[in-house]
Amino acid sequence: MRNFAIVLSGCGVFDGAEIHEATLSMYAIKKQGANYEIFAPDIDQYHVINHITGQPMEEKRNVLIESARIARGKIIPLSEFEVNKFDAILFPGGFGAAKNLSTFAFDGPDCEINQDVKKAVLNMHKEGKPIGALCISPVLVSKLLGKVELTIGEDKETAQAIEKMGSKHKKTNHGEVVIDPDNNVFTTPCYMLDATILEIGEGAENIIRAMLKSMN
């Protein structure tokens, strides 16, 4: 049975992991006969957003602790990730990928990547294992791997930033998956497009199906 590592970036679209994308990815993995374990870096969030008003709040939260809400408490610090125990790694989206796992939201192509994320991605890439990224999280892969083909949908500014990091961007619509066979990278746009939860579920199922197929 194939085993996925899912890396979260908090809990909530505006300051952490996108909950629909994370949950439907878990569902898709189980539905297609595989297992998963959930990871997150043990770091402070960049900030906390009130998801009703969209405004920052005067408090601090921890990415690992917040991600544990989605994981129902069953979560592992990303610093403990071991590449030999997993067949694939997956990054749901949400602004946490651009604020907590990296500084892309602030620095664009000049962003820095969290060291635990960097180590996990580069080690999986070195072993030739599938790397999946939803929504905005392909920017992490672009920054770390450079020359790779991927998608974030149709957002022109983000696509330009990805190409400045040395990657090739491909425009996509709902549920479409871009596969880079040379790097074993799989990406799908999800909420980078104006999507319904049905379309998020379709994207999650399609990317997991493609990643599993590559392991056969």
Q: Is 135 a catalytic residue?
A: yes
- Alpha-carbon torsion (161, 144, 169, 173), positive or negative: negative
Instruction: Give the H or E element holding residue 169.
Output: strand 168-169
SS3 187: strand
Task: State how beta strands 48-49 and 56-57 pair.
Answer: antiparallel
Marked catalytic residue, from 11, 111, 135, 190: 135
Enter the tokens of residue 132.
Answer: 């999946």
CA distance 191 to 194: 6
Tracing tokens 């999946």 back to the chain, one arrives at 132
Cβ atoms 191, 206 nearer than 8 A: no
- The backbone torsions φ and ψ at residue 32, rounded to the nearest 5 degrees and listed phi first, read -95, 20
Closest by CA to 28, choosing from 119, 111, 77, 92, is 92
Enter the tokens of residue 176.
Answer: 């479409």
- The backbone torsions φ and ψ at residue 66, rounded to the nearest 5 degrees and listed phi first, read -70, -40
Instruction: Give the H or E element holding residue 207.
Output: helix 197-214
| Residues annotated catalytic, as ranges | 135
